[in-house]
A = this chain, B = another copy of it.
Amino acid sequence: MKKLLLASTSTLFGQSYLEYLLTELTTFFSHTDTVTFIPYARPGGISHDNYTELVAMAFSKIDKKVVGLHTYQNPLVGIAKADALYTGGGNTFLLVQQLHRLELMQPLKQKIGSGTPYFGTSAGSNIAGPSMKTTNDMPIVYPSSFDTLGVVDFNLNPHYLDPDPNSTHKGETRETRIREFHSVDPTPVVGLREGNYILINGKQTTLKGSGTARIFEAGKTPFESLQIPF
């Protein structure tokens, strides 16, 4: 039974890393003491070691150990051994480039499909969909493909931002960008605002946090929803 927790962000304003999710994570990871962490998205260019240390500090508050996937000589072994998985945010292009280069995308998909709990924040949530084509990140490296895990049937847009009605800036709004995506790809998109997350237990998908998500389907007007309709 597939088990996923896909969060828009790791950190809420004024809080510490993962703070708002710790209660949920205690339940989500209740079956294990150790979480295998995928650090490849490297926010701000941070090293794999430093990123893993940050995550370990947060997880120590709920008595979980953290092992960085990069510490395995063969990361395939790391995935095979994992009781639970967490992929942190950062740059989605870096993350996806690395997962393809190390040929981890299919093994990860199978591992999640076989019931190993998967937790993602931001870029880590992004890769749960069929492609990374609705990321907000800058294409700082060229991955060998934009295809991602496809363990859910919709794409995610984390850190979803509503258009600012007072803005005089002419860069595209998030909604315009997702409309452009739908002009070339019919995959539905969930705009997930900060503080919200999606919990998947087998066939049950629940939106958690406060308020609604914004749902984008090709050729339809986007709408607000308290559920994930896919």
Q: Residues of A with Cβ closer than 8 Å to B?
A: 9-14, 42-45, 90-91, 93-94, 132-142, 145-146, 158-159, 161, 168-172, 176-185, 194
Contact = CB atoms under 8 A, between A and B. Distances in A.
Q: Count chain B CB atoms within 10 A of each CB in A141, A159, A180 and give the residue with the most.
A: A180
Contacts of A170: 9-13, 159, 194
Contacts of A171: 9, 136, 158-159, 161, 194
A127 B177 CA distance: 19
A140 B133 contact: yes
Nearest to A142: B146
B172 A137 contact: yes
A140 B180 contact: yes
Contacts of A141: 133, 184
A139 B139 contact: yes
| Copies of the chain in the assembly | 2
Contacts of A169: 13, 159, 161, 194
A45 B179 contact: yes
Contacts of A132: 139
A179 B135 CA distance: 18
Contacts of A146: 139, 142
10 contacts: A13-B168, A42-B180, A44-B176, A138-B177, A138-B178, A159-B169, A159-B170, A159-B171, A161-B169, A170-B194
Contacts of A136: 138, 171-172
Nearest 6 interchain pairs by C-beta: A45-B183, A159-B171, A13-B168, A138-B177, A140-B181, A142-B146
A135 B133 contact: no
A9 B93 CA distance: 25
A14 B168 CA distance: 8
A139 to B, nearest CB: 5
